[in-house]
A and B are shown apart, each in its own frame.
Chain A
Amino acid sequence: MATETAERKPTAKRIVIEPVTRVEGHGKVTILLDEQERVRQARLHIVEFRGFERYIRGRPYWEAPVLVQRLCGICPVSHHLAAAKAMDQVVGVDTLPPTAEKMRRLMHYGQMLQSHALHFFHLVSPDLLFGFDADPAIRNIVGVARKFPDLAVQGVMLRKYGQEIIKATAGKKIHGTGAIPGGINKNLSIAERDGFLKDLDQILAWSRGALKIARDYTMEHLKDLADFGSFESNHLSLIRADGAMDLYHGGLRAVGARGGKIFDHVDYRNYLDYIAEEVKPWSYMKFPFIKSLGPEKGWYRVGPLARLNTADFIDTPEAEAARKEFMALTKGKPNNVTMAYHWARMIELLHAAEKIRDLLHDADLQGTELRARGERRPVGIGLIEAPRGTLFHHYEVDENDQIARCNLIVSTTNNNTPMNRAVEKVAHDYLEGVQITEGLLNRIEVAIRAYDPCLSCATHAMGRMPLEVEIVGADGAVRARGGKGLYV
């Protein structure tokens, strides 16, 4: 597939890597070379399926929290909760009954725990434990299972624990129905609570262990990691009114690369006054930016690293101690090291485990007031801090209770420009000539993977995703091609 820019500039050479392996869904990397065969620009193309916003039009608003789970089998809970938060507004509810909000939070922290555990143990630990240049035959979760079986079991069991919490709060694993407009449809039984409490100490211990691995790895390799795919950027997340990290709800805060606040405690229902999306002809995915800074300087990062950089503190003791150590590394200023995402993610893993503990000891989870009601409104906007970053859901509902308009900005879209920057930095540093080496491929993947992108809007049915690698010369001819089949 030719890119528009390359067509306009026929002297540019393109190296095309399609799709990116070891991250979700369709992705392709194009490295544009200048006439001296130096990297001019690198682009990460993601085939984002935008049909969903059209599809949901005309559907009754109360179906949205379930329908949006069709978007993605990787993070359905995040879409479920963001849509439910938007529909709370549509039914005129600004404050949920305590049982409803705490059940949703428990669901969300269960999602955070399982998602972060899966990403770290399954996708990242092979890179960290075996090195970026290790044989791909062992640099995977099965390789970890063989050499570090205890660690691999911990990853599986953390993931399972989070999934069980989702099942208990959302009702089922596929297309959960727990969150409804204005509340939740069930509480947590004593038996369910006790089942989770039984394993909690072990979950906390494993979370501490995972954090230690990520922290120690980063500190031991800081000299090499500091520059790897790294660059200065703005950071954006929700923040609680008192400045605490809050993964479920809050106002929007954006900080610059050196820590200056760009905006703070913004009511996210006004997000369109602060955030815009740029369209580029070579990408299906939009490029969000902070309006006041413009598209060139206003792009930002979201996700664990951004959340650590925006928060004044974390309201659970062990994660807060870890946050202080993390921020001390940059003397309290934002950390702009791409590979620090992993350390930040494991701080959040421990935070999620601590929050689950606190919630399980809260009797409100057994309350019976599950739903609030109010006056119908025409617009609902729900934001949540999904595992991968800030997720925006925006709906307009007509007088027939049907969804008239929908706009979603998913976490991976928010990180679109940063991922492009990371790939470009790696290409600059590691591309030699026009050779696609295993080392270059591995490093591109490692840089993208730091953001934990979820590109799985594609179906995963078997046999649909060939891996193709192409090198295209200045004359447009393919100079090299390779590939292999894979599951996604």
Chain B
Amino acid sequence: MLLIGFGNPGRLDDGLGPALAAAVEALAIPGVTVDSDYQLTVEHAELAARHAAVIFADAAAAGPTPFAFERVEPSAGEVEFSSHSVSPAGVLALARDLFDAQPEGWLLAIRGEAFDDFEERLSDAARRNLAAALAFVETWLRAGGASYFQGLEKSS
């Protein structure tokens, strides 16, 4: 499995993705590859294509607190208004179309509060949300990914 944390750590809570990536890398979970970058770009499709599942971890300026975790399907439409960066769905679409690979995609959107300065630190709220996201994703990764949810169904 692959986890890509993306964002600019020099822009406050925009660094949530790389912060999560660093924390997961420190856990050294067997079978888990970790990468981080300022943004997703086309070459992440080649990396994604070499894995069975990919978690895209990013800061979210809106949405659920502390985080949202949801499936991402490949979508060419997601790059309709593309810029230098590509969306998670766009990365999956490129992995499919260029490298004939269909990794399972997940988006981990960690809620941030502060984005408009050049400090390299997370807000208090972002740190709390990061801790919650890390606890979840560690369990998820150690359970082997999607089978985490199967385990939940059995226990319920």
Q: How far is the CB of A480 from chain B (nearest CB, A)?
A: 19
Q: In the complex, what residues of A have CB within 8 A of residue B43's CB?
A: 156-157, 159-160, 163
A433 contacts the other chain (CB 8 A): no
Which A positions have Cβ atoms within 8 angstroms of B?
21-25, 51-52, 55-56, 67, 69-71, 73-74, 76, 118-119, 121-123, 136-137, 140-143, 145-146, 149, 152-153, 155-157, 159-160, 163, 173-175, 454, 456, 459-464, 467, 484, 486-488
Stretch at the interface among B26-34, B109-117, B133-141, B147-155: B109-117
Task: For A115, give the chain B residue with the smallest CB separation.
Answer: B84
Q: How far is the CB of B126 from chain A (nearest CB, A)?
A: 11
A459-B8, A460-B39 in contact; A22/B81 too (CB < 8 A)? yes
Residue pair B60, A141 in contact (C-beta under 8 Å): no
B143 contacts the other chain (CB 8 A): no
A-B CB contact pairs (8 Å), 10 listed: A23-B83, A51-B118, A73-B37, A123-B83, A141-B94, A153-B98, A160-B46, A459-B115, A464-B115, A484-B81
Q: How far is the CA of A286 from the CA of B77 in the complex (A)?
A: 35
Residue pair A462, B37 in contact (C-beta under 8 Å): no
Task: For A75, give the chain B residue with the smallest CB separation.
Answer: B84
Point out which of A22, A52, A76 has the most chain B C-beta atoms below 10 A from its C-beta. Answer: A22
Q: In the complex, what residues of A have CB within 8 A of residue B116's CB?
A: 459
Residue pair B77, A462 in contact (C-beta under 8 Å): no
Flag B92-135 by CB within 8 Å of A: 1 or 0 each: 01100111000000000100100111111000000000000000
Residue from B9, B80, B85 within 8 A of A140 (CB atoms): B80
Which B positions have Cβ atoms within 8 angstroms of A?
7-14, 18, 36-39, 41-43, 45-46, 58-63, 76-87, 90, 93-94, 97-99, 109, 112, 115-120
Residue pair B60, A118 in contact (C-beta under 8 Å): no
Residue pair B85, A174 in contact (C-beta under 8 Å): no
Q: How far is the CB of B120 from chain A (nearest CB, A)?
A: 7
A163-B43, A459-B115, A467-B81 in contact; A137/B11 too (CB < 8 A)? no
Residue pair A461, B38 in contact (C-beta under 8 Å): no
Q: How many A-B residue pairs have CB under 8 A?
A: 160
Residue pair B8, A24 in contact (C-beta under 8 Å): no
Q: In the complex, what residues of A have CB within 8 A of residue B59's CB?
A: 459, 461-462
Q: How far is the CB of B97 from chain A (nearest CB, A)?
A: 4
Residue pair B80, A137 in contact (C-beta under 8 Å): yes
Q: In the complex, what residues of B have CB within 8 A of residue A23's CB?
A: 83
Residue pair B61, A76 in contact (C-beta under 8 Å): no
Residue from B36, B58, B77, B86 within 8 A of A141 (CB atoms): B86
Residue pair B118, A143 in contact (C-beta under 8 Å): no
Residue pair A122, B42 in contact (C-beta under 8 Å): yes
Q: How far is the CA of A73 from the CA of B90 in the complex (A)?
A: 19
Q: How far is the CA of A74 from the CA of B37 in the complex (A)?
A: 10
A74-B38, A122-B82 in contact; A137/B18 too (CB < 8 A)? no
Residue pair B61, A70 in contact (C-beta under 8 Å): no
Q: How far is the CA of A25 from the CA of B11 in the complex (A)?
A: 14
Task: For B86, give the chain A residue with the smallest CB separation.
Answer: A141
